[in-house]
A and B are shown apart, each in its own frame.
Chain A
Amino acid sequence: MSAEDLRAEYLASGSGDSPRDSGRLDLIRGVLADEATWVEPPPQVVDALLAAVAREGSSSIKDPAAVGRARWPVVAAAVGSVAAVVALVFSTMSVLEADKEIVVAMTGTEIERGAGGQAAVGPSGSGWWIRLDATGLPPAPEGSFYEGWVWSDEGDGVSIGTFHLRGGDTPVTLWSGVEMAEYPSIWVTLEQEDDGPEASDLVVMTGRMPDA
């Protein structure tokens, strides 16, 4: 029926019934029947895009891996020995490169003691996806939102996306463009919409990639 509708309108539009026209029609029919044509992008894509744009302003994004890089404002970094860092990087990368999910336990801080859950981390074509499945984390109040971060032991925080949970929409998928082995800590902060791009000090959940 749909094919007849399409063909009828196609002919009515003035297109002919030549092999070439039939080919065009078949092509359109094929695309309409393809699942790829109908799938919707996950909402986290636009959230992450707008977060990146907001962070960087209109003038100076240069390096994809640097999008959203921010100095963590409150927590002091504990830098281990060079050997320990190297060991951590290699051991974590070896697991991630095996294309397996890493599950990180997430725990609530004093601000949200009842929060918990887990973050599954896996490699994607351009970085790492982080699927956060949070429990006990209330929806962010109007005018605020949650922001995910990965954080290096040297004290650099990189935003991995925002969400608010007001639609009850867990789990949320975030995205990191930096190496998880170098940014092994995962944090969730509560941010106010009027605040700047820096992470707030309202850390509500934390977790850390396993050493091996």
Chain B
Amino acid sequence: MDREVLERFRIGDEAAVKAVYDRFGGSVFALSMSILGEHGLAADATQQTFIKAWRAASTYDPERSFAPWIYAIARRTAIDMYRKQIRVVLSDEIEVAVYPPGLETAWEVFEVRSALDLLPDEERQVVKLSHFDGFTHIEISEQLDIPVGTVKSRSHRAHQRLVELLRHVEEA
């Protein structure tokens, strides 16, 4: 994130809030989806996360990386929401520490999505079609109506960028 944007976010500037959402909204939503597994709940968690972040913006230290800061808020928010949902199912008398199943890979989901959102659209599209939809290069070229060579070069560049952006992601 641009330092100036973060400085403005820190003092509660509305335009900066939008800029921060544009950069991290997808990551927070993906994290929320991985923990909560339901679209509506994830949307609520995402909205709550950014409102909490905005409220707490004055406590953010712009000298430190922003991603882990908002990740921590998003993770906490999603866990709290998950526990509220579980409590409906469990007896009121049973108070146990319940951790959602997607929690182990929450950081990786957040980081991978953050990296994907930095890719150019055409490269991101190729990555999605190959990894998520399981298409081959030839199938992608047919799908997008572009030469196979173009698919390969986009795939090469996209994966190069991804590996570089995700270099710090450690095995869970």
Contact A9 to B163, CB < 8 A, known contacts A41-B29, A64-B51: yes
The reply to whether B109 and A173 form a contact with Cβ atoms under 8 Å apart is: no
With a cutoff of 8 Å between Cβ atoms, the chain A residues found around residue B113 in the complex are 37
CB of B70 closer than 8 Å to a CB of A: no
The reply to whether B33 and A29 form a contact with Cβ atoms under 8 Å apart is: no
The reply to whether A5 and B155 form a contact with Cβ atoms under 8 Å apart is: yes
How distant is A89 from chain B, measured CB to nearest CB, in Å? 20
CB of A44 closer than 8 Å to a CB of B: yes
The reply to whether B47 and A10 form a contact with Cβ atoms under 8 Å apart is: no
The reply to whether A32 and B112 form a contact with Cβ atoms under 8 Å apart is: yes
CB of A53 closer than 8 Å to a CB of B: yes
The reply to whether B18 and A50 form a contact with Cβ atoms under 8 Å apart is: yes
Q: Which bucket holds chain B's interface residue count?
A: 35 or more
The reply to whether A54 and B14 form a contact with Cβ atoms under 8 Å apart is: yes
Residue of B46, B131, B160 contacting most chain A CB atoms (<10 Å): B131
Which among A70-78, A122-130, A194-202 touches the partner chain?
A122-130
The reply to whether A33 and B132 form a contact with Cβ atoms under 8 Å apart is: yes
Specify the chain B residue showing the minimal Cβ separation from A128. Answer: B44
Taking A38-B128, A39-B42 as known contacts, 14 extra A-B pairs with beta carbons closer than 8 A to each other, sorted by chain A number, are: A2-B155, A5-B155, A9-B160, A28-B112, A32-B131, A34-B109, A37-B112, A39-B30, A41-B28, A53-B14, A58-B12, A61-B54, A125-B36, A175-B47
Specify the chain A residue showing the minimal Cβ separation from B172. Answer: A27
- A interface, CB within 8 angstroms of B: 1-3, 5-6, 8-10, 12-13, 15, 20, 23-24, 27-42, 44-46, 48-50, 52-54, 57-59, 61, 64, 67, 124-127, 129, 173, 175
Contact A127 to B44, CB < 8 A, known contacts A2-B127, A34-B34: yes
- Residue interface bits B108-151, CB-to-A below 8 A is 1, else 0: 11001100100000000001101110101100000000000000
The reply to whether A6 and B51 form a contact with Cβ atoms under 8 Å apart is: no
Contact A67 to B51, CB < 8 A, known contacts A1-B130, A13-B164: yes
The reply to whether A49 and B47 form a contact with Cβ atoms under 8 Å apart is: yes
